[in-house]
């Protein structure tokens, strides 16, 4: 009965969504506000309906209704309470319900705003949002129903919602439980953050389509969705970072990013979304890139759906992907239809989206932002080619060719270097026109400081060309960003008589978008330190040692003491080693690398022992404990220099995004004009 209620709520939501789509189109075409309002109310109704269905499914998960096939597949009586709740998005069917619920929540929030000034957008925003919701609900209802039951028939066991003829219900005593890799605290927050990033990008896409349909070619739709886009970017960034941390903690390969196809599927909309965030500023400031911005948001939406398709269709082999599913063709068709329809609408309005101005200088800020976009698109092309090539090769040759991490690293490395360089130079350029001379006069002090850092690195013995270039760019960008912010703070303090800390605080508050962006850039710089450290300087070793023996790596000594093997009540066998860590003869404590084996799923999970500091991580993995030598164990040890700067930079990036997205108390802008020393470059600091 409870399952019937949950499924019925989904069906009603699907029908309400279809009604809302029809009512919105009819009301817009016939200029009938009452029909549009009815569609808006239908949109509002979808959220409580899907909430009822999701709560029903959570109830079934918590109470152990193992006759429901989804509950049986993702929970067990031994699982803790929090994992039973997070199991909602731990399986294919439940994750689609969760995706639909989040999409409905965001669309409902949008429809609650005041629409007096933008009433012509409303019906088309509703249409796009409800089409997306209806599509995912259709996948749940017709292909991946989480309320299906187990039935026993003469031909064997089947899964169905309605009882087949001559069948009896099956009531398993326990479930299989979640995949061991998903039994981690990261399961609480990583998938929701990723899904939130995905569904949030549907909102700016909805407004873009509404602008195309209504012929509103100004930048109003961009201004309405700027914070929605920032929120989407923040959630997607959080999802990617948390996924990297999760992989670092449980996959046992000593890294945070393996260029896995599903990782890349989530990374691609982040690339286009980041390019979009930069590009829309040009349209707002200079009236340029109207067509390009439409292309970027269409690409972002399409890549969101494409990434969801890759994860859920089973076409990719990945630790992150769900099993083979029948929803692949439906996803592929939806991607094709929405992409073609969006491009057709864009081409229809192509002439109406002409730029209001022109670029007059290759070194102007808008030109540098364009180069920034091109670098992002270059990285996207590399990633897309790498993900698609195995599928294309299998289609035409019958063999799936694997694209490994070295391809991505070699192809994207120069592009990331270019982005980091532009991130430093762009704040020094002026809107409209800049020259090498004026930028040179503004950049020489930060550049000199960065070369001092480079010289210090060489003197201390660093000889890696890649590391020297990377750290120099990091210093170059950081010094420019801090220098620009510092100049603005000093200019305000002189003008207003405030103290420097007060000027610092008030300046950020008066123009959160600009200085939030600077803070984000500093977060990227900190992340780059960690990435360079682990990518260039990571070393590893592996060895089999007896109790009392040691493995040495990068000045560290890892001494094996003992190994304990025991069972836990949650249905797993734990083999936990105890190792002593020392460096230069100084004891640094103990680590406890282990391997957990889950009896129900017959799957192991490796948990490393990690000693962390801002200087480095020592990362120890228990590989085996039945080697040739009696009482021995095999360990793999990684030395990961500077990796924790990556996580620190992620936190700083999140803070900067919150600053940039935070609503302004005062819409008036205070304008302070400062000039680069000895030049005619003038910038407006708000």
229, 240, 242, 265, 499 from 270: Cα distances, Å: 11, 9, 14, 9, 39
233 and 322 co-located in one domain: yes
Q: Which residues contact 327 (CB under 8 A, 6 or more apart)?
A: 139, 143, 144, 312, 313
pLDDT band of 464, cuts 50, 70, 90: very high
341 and 249 co-located in one domain: yes
Interval 252-265: pLDDT, tens:
778 899 898 888 99
- Flag whether 312 is in a domain: yes
- Tell me if 403 sits within 8 A of 254, measured CB to CB: no
Interval 332-343: pLDDT, tens:
899 999 999 999
pTM of the predicted model as reported, rounded to 2 decimal places: 0.91
pLDDT over threshold 90, residue 541: yes
3-class DSSP state of 643: coil
Q: Enumerate the β-bridge partners of residue 568.
A: 572
Task: Tell me the C-alpha distance between 508 and 274, whole Å.
Answer: 21
Q: Are strands 672-675 and 594-598 parallel, antiparallel or unpaired?
A: unpaired
The mean pLDDT value for 210-229 works out to 91
**pLDDT for residue 467:** 94
pLDDT over threshold 60, residue 496: yes
pLDDT over threshold 70, residue 601: yes
Q: Where are the alpha helices (DSSP H) in 167-289?
A: 186-200, 202-214, 220-250, 261-286
C-alpha dihedral over 204, 205, 209, 210, to 10 degrees?
-30
pLDDT over threshold 80, residue 127: yes
Give the residue with greater pLDDT, 524 vs 358.
524
24 and 63 co-located in one domain: yes
CATH code, domain with 15: 1.20.120
**pLDDT for residue 6:** 96
pLDDT over threshold 60, residue 677: no
- Flag whether 618 is in a domain: yes
**pLDDT for residue 158:** 84
**pLDDT for residue 155:** 78
155, 254, 602, 639 from 251: Cα distances, Å: 40, 8, 17, 16
**pLDDT for residue 431:** 81
pLDDT over threshold 70, residue 314: no
Q: What are phi and psi of 358, to 5 degrees?
A: -135, 155
pLDDT over threshold 50, residue 671: no
- Flag whether 143 is in a domain: yes
- Flag whether 223 is in a domain: yes
91 and 53 co-located in one domain: yes
Q: Which of 233-247, 292-306, 502-516 has the lowest mean pLDDT?
A: 502-516
- Tell me if 682 sits within 8 A of 669, measured CB to CB: no
pLDDT band of 329, cuts 50, 70, 90: confident
Task: Tell me the C-alpha distance between 231 and 237, whole Å.
Answer: 10
| Residue where a domain terminates, one of 135, 159, 178 | 178
Percent of the chain topping pLDDT 70: 94
Q: How many CB atoms within 10 Å of residue 239?
A: 22
Interval 60-80: pLDDT, tens:
999 999 999 999 999 988 888
Q: How many domains does the chain have?
A: 4
Q: Which residues contact 6 (CB under 8 A, 6 or more apart)?
A: 52, 53, 56, 57, 60, 146, 147
- Flag whether 360 is in a domain: no
- Tell me if 238 sits within 8 A of 193, measured CB to CB: yes
**pLDDT for residue 267:** 95
476 and 557 co-located in one domain: no
**pLDDT for residue 630:** 59
Q: Where are the alpha helices (DSSP H) in 251-364?
A: 261-286, 290-313, 328-348
Task: Tell me the C-alpha distance between 619 and 541, whole Å.
Answer: 11
What own/partner pairs with CB < 8 Å and gap ≥ 24 does 301-305 have? 301/201, 301/202, 301/205, 301/338, 301/342, 302/335, 302/338, 302/339, 302/342, 303/268, 303/269, 303/272, 304/198, 304/201, 304/202, 304/269, 305/331, 305/334, 305/335, 305/338
Q: Which of 126, 103, 96 is nearest to 23 (CA)?
A: 126
Interval 554-591: pLDDT, tens:
999 999 999 999 999 888 899 999 999 999 889 999 99
Q: Which of 276, 349, 251 is nearest to 610 (CA)?
A: 251
203 and 85 co-located in one domain: no
Q: Which of 289, 433, 449 is nearest to 372 (CA)?
A: 289
Interval 503-539: pLDDT, tens:
888 887 788 888 888 999 999 999 999 999 999 999 9
Counting every residue written for the chain, the total comes to 686
The mean pLDDT value for 365-374 works out to 92
Q: Which residues contact 261 (CB under 8 A, 6 or more apart)?
A: 310, 316, 317, 318, 321, 386, 387, 390
428, 435, 683 from 520: Cα distances, Å: 17, 26, 20
587 and 528 co-located in one domain: no
496 and 605 co-located in one domain: no
pLDDT over threshold 80, residue 231: yes
205 and 348 co-located in one domain: yes
156 and 233 co-located in one domain: no
Task: Tell me the C-alpha distance between 579 and 560, whole Å.
Answer: 5
- Flag whether 351 is in a domain: yes
pLDDT band of 216, cuts 50, 70, 90: confident
- Structural domain of residue 298, as residue ranges? 187-355+368-405
What is the average pLDDT value for the chain, to the nearest integer? 88
Q: What Rg do the C-alpha atoms of the chain give, in angstroms?
A: 28
Q: Which of 79-93, 117-131, 392-406, 508-522 has the lowest mean pLDDT?
A: 392-406
Q: Which of 240, 214, 210, 23 is nearest to 110 (CA)?
A: 210
**pLDDT for residue 88:** 92
- Flag whether 363 is in a domain: no
560 and 680 co-located in one domain: no
Task: Tell me the C-alpha distance between 377 and 298, whole Å.
Answer: 14
The mean pLDDT value for 475-501 works out to 89
Percent of the chain topping pLDDT 90: 61
- What DSSP character marks residue 68? B
The mean pLDDT value for 122-151 works out to 95
pLDDT band of 674, cuts 50, 70, 90: very low
pLDDT band of 672, cuts 50, 70, 90: very low
- Six token digits for residue 127: 């249409």
- Flag whether 487 is in a domain: yes
489 and 570 co-located in one domain: no
């Amino acid at each position: 009965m409870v399952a019937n209620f949950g499924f019925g709520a989904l069906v009603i939501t699907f029908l309400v969504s279809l009604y809302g789509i029809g009512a919105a189109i009819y009301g817009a075409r016939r200029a009938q506000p009452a029909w549009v309002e009815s569609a808006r109310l239908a949109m509002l109704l979808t959220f409580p309906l899907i909430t009822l269905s999701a709560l029903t499914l959570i109830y079934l998960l918590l109470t152990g209704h193992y006759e429901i096939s989804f509950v049986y597949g993702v929970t067990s009586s031994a699982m803790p309470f929090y994992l039973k709740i997070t199991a909602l998005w731990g399986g294919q069917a439940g994750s689609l319900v969760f995706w639909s619920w989040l999409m409905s929540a965001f669309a409902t929030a949008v429809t609650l705003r005041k629409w007096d000034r933008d009433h012509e957008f409303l019906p088309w925003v509703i249409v796009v949002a409800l089409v997306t919701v209806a599509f995912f609900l259709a996948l749940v209802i017709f292909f991946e129903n989480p309320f299906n039951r187990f039935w026993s028939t003469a031909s064997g066991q089947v899964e169905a919602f309605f009882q087949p003829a001559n069948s009896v219900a099956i009531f398993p005593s326990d479930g299989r439980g979640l995949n061991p890799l998903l039994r981690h605290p990261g399961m609480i927050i990583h998938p929701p953050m990723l899904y939130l990033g995905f569904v949030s990008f549907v909102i700016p896409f909805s407004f873009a389509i509404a602008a195309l349909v209504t012929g509103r070619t100004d930048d109003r739709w961009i201004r309405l969705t700027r914070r929605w886009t920032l929120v989407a970017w923040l959630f997607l960034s959080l999802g990617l970072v948390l996924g990297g941390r999760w992989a670092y903690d449980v996959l046992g390969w000593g890294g945070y990013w393996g260029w896995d196809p599903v990782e890349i599927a989530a990374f691609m909309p982040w690339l286009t979304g980041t390019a979009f965030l930069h590009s829309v500023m040009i349209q707002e400031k200079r009236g340029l890139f109207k067509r390009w911005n439409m292309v970027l948001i269409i690409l972002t939406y399409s890549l969101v759906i494409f990434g969801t398709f890759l994860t859920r269709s089973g076409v990719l082999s990945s630790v992150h992907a769900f099993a083979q599913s029948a929803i692949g063709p439906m996803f592929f068709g939806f991607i094709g239809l929405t992409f073609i329809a969006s491009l057709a609408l864009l081409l229809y309005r192509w002439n109406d989206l002409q730029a209001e101005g022109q670029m007059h200088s290759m070194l102007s800020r808008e030109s540098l932002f364009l180069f920034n976009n091109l670098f992002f698109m270059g990285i996207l092309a590399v990633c897309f080619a790498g993900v698609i090539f195995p599928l294309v090769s299998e289609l035409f040759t019958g063999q799936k060719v694997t694209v490994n991490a070295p391809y991505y690293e070699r192809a994207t490395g120069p592009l990331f270097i270019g982005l980091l360089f532009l991130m430093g130079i762009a704040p020094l350029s002026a809107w409209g026109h800049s020259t090498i001379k004026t930028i040179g006069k503004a950049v020489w002090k930060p550049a000199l400081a960065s070369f001092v850092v480079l010289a210090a690195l060489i003197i201390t013995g660093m000889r890696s060309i890649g590391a020297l270039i990377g750290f120099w760019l990091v210093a170059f960008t950081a010094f420019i960003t801090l220098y620009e912010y510092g100049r603005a703070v000093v200019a305000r303090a002189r003008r207003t008589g405030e103290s420097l800390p007060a000027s610092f605080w008030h300046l950020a508050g008066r123009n959160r978008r600009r200085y939030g962006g600077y803070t984000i850039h500093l977060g990227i710089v900190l992340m780059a330190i960690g990435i360079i450290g682990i990518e260039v300087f990571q070393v590893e070793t592996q060895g089999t040692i007896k109790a009392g023996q040691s493995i040495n790596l990068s000045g560290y000594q890892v001494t094996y003491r003992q190994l304990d093997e025991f069972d836990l009540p949650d249905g797993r066998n734990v083999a936990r080693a105890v190792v002593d860590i020392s460096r230069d003869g100084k004891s640094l404590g103990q680590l406890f690398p282990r391997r957990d084996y889950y009896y129900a799923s017959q799957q192991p999970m490796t948990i490393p022992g990690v000693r962390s500091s801002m200087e480095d991580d020592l990362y120890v993995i228990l590989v085996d404990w039945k080697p040739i030598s009696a009482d021995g164990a095999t360990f793999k040890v990684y030395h990961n220099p500077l990796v924790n700067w990556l996580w620190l930079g992620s936190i700083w990036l999140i803070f900067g995004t919150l600053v940039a997205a935070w609503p302004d108390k005062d819409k008036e802008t205070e304008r302070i004009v400062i000039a680069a020393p000895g030049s005619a470059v003038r910038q407006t600091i708000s």
